Structure 1
Amino acid sequence: MKIFAHVSWLFATLIIATSLTFMIVTFYLLPRPYSRKIAAWLIRIGTFFSVTVEGKEDPKAQMFLVNHQSDLDIVVMETITSRDITWVAKKELFDMPFFGLALKLPQDIAVERESKTSLIKLLKDAKRILKTNRVITMFPEGTRSTKGTMLPFKSGAKIIADSNNLRVQPVVLMQTAKYYNTKEFYYRPGRVKAIFLESFVADKSDENWLSDLRVKMQKVYDDELANNPRHR
């Protein structure tokens, strides 16, 4: 069974690499964000996973905050919204051969965690993106959590949202690491569930709204897990 999962992982990874190649080659040939959207759909269809959506996307949302378990999370978000997404990711990913180009071409936002000037650049880049009506999308945990418990949310999301008075919409993704896990070289087709929560306008006077949001998102995740055996 493990051998089959490893072979499936290799197949899925080849599909992902091929789709990213398509995106890079066609980026300047197609109106944005079509090259990225088509690439995401090629991955979703080619790897035989589907997505069930609960709740409604707010068309006025300026920021999506999403829990992070798997590389599939990006594909899920790109295929459940038609909006032009701007991903915020650590600078090391932008420096990677090939994959980094898939982030640089759409002018996503790179974050240098150890840089003293990183915060200034982050705010400057966010203002640039907001003028283009793209949706800033972040994994506030900062890295993948595969055990079902969300990691503490980092302050970057709150700083951007508070500084620009953004309308934020949280999105809870269920068990994506169960289907695609790069650390364990594991993949199997399945049905992922994405839950849009109610949007809200960031209130910088509330120092705890980000940590409170983590508690709320975790509760939604836990309740869904408890009430839907399919996710286990």
Structure 2
Amino acid sequence: MKISAKIKFLWNAFVIAVNTGAVMIPAIMLFPKHKGAIMHNLNRVTLFLMGAKVVQEGAMDPEADMYVMNHQGIIDIIGMEALQDRHLMWVAKKELFSMPIYGHLLRHGDMISLDRGNKAGLIKLMKDVKVSLDEKHRAIAIFPEGTRAKDQKLLP
């Protein structure tokens, strides 16, 4: 790996960690009614500081209840949040909720935890989705394959 690529990687990791850990998490804890706007705007700032540019092809359906997609890394989530005006409720595997920084973001961001290890996890997921749609009026975003797919196509 070239030295410039290493420096860019370290800079991007630093930007994501500081923006998430030092700014976003405290902001959503202090201003819980504005979580969506805080996350969207700070993710736009994160992309700007990383020198990234989000390009959207087509229009997202504002009436959609669920967004199903693949992702290759955390930048996909940051980009999706930066593009949104709606406050999405993300579905994430429960192991991510115990991570040091990002676990706080998931918990305080009011996201859905999915226990893939037991069958009751699927029932809990369905109940949480119903609450999200009916009571909180938040669309669901899910990566059913996480980073397991080799390309951007969903597996059968």
In the superposition, the TM-score normalised over structure 1's length comes to 0.62
- What's the secondary structure of 2:39's corresponding residue? helix
Deviation, structure 1 residue 94: 0.4
Deviation, structure 1 residue 53: 1.2
**Map of 2:15 onto structure 1:** 15
Deviation, structure 1 residue 150: 3.4
CA distance in 1, matches of 2:100, 2:56: 33
- What's the secondary structure of 2:145's corresponding residue? coil
**Unpaired stretches in structure 2, ≥5 consecutive residues:** none
- Give 1 or 2: higher strand fraction: 1
- What's the secondary structure of 1:52's corresponding residue? coil
**Map of 2:45 onto structure 1:** 42
1:134 aligns with 2:138: yes
Q: In the alignment, is the contact (CA less than 8 A) between 1:70 and 1:144 conserved in 2?
A: no
Letter in 2 for 1:20: T
Letter in 2 for 1:14: F
Q: In the alignment, is the contact (CA less than 8 A) between 2:70 and 2:147 conserved in 1?
A: no
CA distance in 2, matches of 1:81, 1:57: 9
RMSD: 1.6
Instruction: Give per-residue Cα distances to partners, 1:183-216, cap 9 Å, x unaligned.
Output: xxxxxxxxxxxxxxxxxxxxxxxxxxxx4xxxxx
- Give 1 or 2: higher helix fraction: 2
- What's the secondary structure of 1:15's corresponding residue? helix
Letter in 2 for 1:133: H
Letter in 1 for 2:144: P
CA distance in 2, matches of 1:83, 1:113: 27
1:70 to 69, 73, 96: 73
**Map of 2:3 onto structure 1:** 3
CA distance in 1, matches of 2:6, 2:27: 30
Q: In the alignment, is the contact (CA less than 8 A) between 1:90 and 1:112 conserved in 2?
A: yes
1:84 to 72, 83, 87: 87
The alignment covers a number of residue pairs equal to 152
- What's the secondary structure of 2:4's corresponding residue? helix
CA distance in 2, matches of 1:119, 1:62: 18
Percent identity between the two aligned chains: 38
Deviation, structure 1 residue 144: 4.5
Q: In the alignment, is the contact (CA less than 8 A) between 1:86 and 1:137 conserved in 2?
A: yes
Map residues 217-228 of structure 1 onto 2, 5 A cutoff: none
- What's the secondary structure of 1:33's corresponding residue? helix
Letter in 1 for 2:118: S
In the superposition, the TM-score normalised over structure 2's length comes to 0.90
Deviation, structure 1 residue 151: 5.3
Map residues 60-209 of structure 1 onto 2, 5 A cutoff: 60-131=63-134, 132-145=136-149, 147-148=150-151, 150=153, 152=155
Which of 1 and 2 has greater Rg?
Answer: 1
Deviation, structure 1 residue 52: 1.4
Deviation, structure 1 residue 57: 1.2
Tell me which stretches of 4 or more aligned residues in structure 1 moved more than 6 Å. Answer: none
